Amino acid sequence: MPEKSIEHINFDELNKTAISQPLVSHIYTADPSAHVFNGKIYIYPSHDIDAGEAFDDLGSHFAMEDYHVISMDSVDSKAVDNGLALHVKDVPWAKQQMWAPDANEKNGTYYLFFPAKAHDDIFRIGVATSNSPTGPFKAEPEAIKGSFSIDPAVFKDDDGSYYMYFGGLWGGQLQRWRDGEFNASEPDSPTAFIPEDNEAALLPYVAKMTDNLLEFDEKAKELQILDENGDLLLSGDIDRRFFEAAWLHKHNGKYYFSYSTGDSHFICYAIGDNPYGPFTYTGRILEPVVGWTSHHSVCKVDEKWYLFYHDSSLSKGVTHLRSVKVAEITHNADGTIETLEPYSKI
Ligand code: FUB
């Protein structure tokens, strides 16, 4: 992924004006998926490291190897790193690149959902389980059948059904699945196989989970994101189309699908009436942060809604060394969400 220009940024000044500070600073963390379990906040982030991998547009420098779970008694309390929760060496099917995870709970068992490149270099999504929200987690021997690409987010609906949302462009390989199977042909560039600007954009996927949360209960389906005229967003509409970082939350009976626009660096949202959509593009939750990626979750804590997100301010702009943050968000009476500016000035 290309770097945004950071030469003009005075990071000391920027960090003073940021609306929030890193929740932990002894390790780099990113892609925070936050949940409240038993009254406590648990954040399931990527654990960023500098593995010495060369930077490229397919994200090889995001060479993460493990996961740590962060917990907090409240959004204002100290964030605790609960140590190693799962390492790639303990996942039989996975080779490398432990990217953005999520977690959920059912009947006292905690499920960590995570993408990684399998031994054939194709991203798949796996599950690991624990009797504690902080792990350690034990991985299933195989990835979820029918899974592909990256960035799983597992939403529990009010009727007790669980749905996984996933997908990501460029390094996340979604563009290689246009025909329902992995297209391994050349060229190996992030934008090969992306639709033309005037064609419909690639879409994220959703699949209902089986009762044991270990498999898809159905073939994953595309999730439609429509514009104000009811048409699919176009591939060239890079300020609004889906790129990665799927998330779903429910507010006042409406389903909010939020996501990152990747190369235009926004966190956007679209609203629908059921978990499968269609969803209508509505607006932005977060303006661009320092760093190339923007990835988030939306979580209700004590009747207030919060955006968990990341930026690269602590590492002074290093794309793959990010820090998890949290800020309150507001749903307006008309259902829209107020857009957050991550810094009062840069
Ligand atoms: O952290 C690695 C990748 O970067 C994630 O999977 C994407 O969402 C982006 O944040």
Domain spanning 3-329: CATH 2.115.10.20: yes
Residue holding tokens 């563009």? 175
State the Cα–Cα distance between residues 149 and 10, nearest whole angstrom: 36
User: Which residues are near ligand 1 (CB < 6 Å)?
Assistant: 30-31, 46, 62, 99-100, 150-151, 168, 244-245, 293, 295
Tens digits of per-residue pLDDT, 70-119?
A: 999 999 999 999 999 999 999 999 999 999 999 999 999 999 999 999 99
pLDDT for 346 beyond 60:
no
Q: Which of 292, 262, 309, 243 is nearest to 31 (CA)?
A: 309
State the Cα–Cα distance between residues 38 and 31, nearest whole angstrom: 22
pTM, two decimal places:
0.97
341 is catalytic: no
Q: Which of 145, 110, 150 is nearest to 217 (CA)?
A: 145
Q: Which of 204, 322, 327 is nearest to 269 (CA)?
A: 204
* Ligand 1 atom 5: residue of nearest CA: 100
Tens digits of per-residue pLDDT, 106-156?
A: 999 999 999 999 999 999 999 999 999 999 999 999 999 999 999 999 999
Q: Sketch the domain layout of the chain as residue ranges.
A: 3-329
Hey, which of 48, 96, 150, 309 would you mutate to test ligand 1's pocket, going by the most ligand atoms within 8 Å of its Cβ?
150
Q: Which of 65, 39, 67 is nearest to 135 (CA)?
A: 67
Q: Collapsing DSSP states into helix, strand and coil, what is residue 256? A: strand
- Give pLDDT, residue 237: 98
Q: Would you state the structure tokens that stand for residue 279, as one six-digit string?
A: 């969803």
State the Cα–Cα distance between residues 232 and 333, nearest whole angstrom: 26
Poorest-pLDDT segment among 49-53, 108-112, 200-204, 264-268: 49-53
Tens digits of per-residue pLDDT, 270-298?
A: 999 999 999 999 999 999 999 999 999 99
The model's confidence at residue 1, banded by pLDDT at 50, 70 and 90, is very low
Residue 90 CB partners (closer than 8 Å, separation 6+): 138, 139
C-beta separation of 54 from 110 below 8 A: no
In ligand 1, the atom with minimum distance to the C-alpha of 310 is: 10
C-beta separation of 46 from 28 below 8 A: no
pLDDT for 345 beyond 80:
no
In ligand 1, the atom with minimum distance to the C-alpha of 115 is: 6
Backbone dihedral angles phi then psi of residue 240, each to the nearest 5 degrees: -130, -20
- Give pLDDT, residue 2: 43
State the Cα–Cα distance between residues 257 and 259, nearest whole angstrom: 7
For range 183-192, the mean pLDDT? 91
Instruction: Give me the catalytic one of 31, 48, 151, 311.
Output: 31
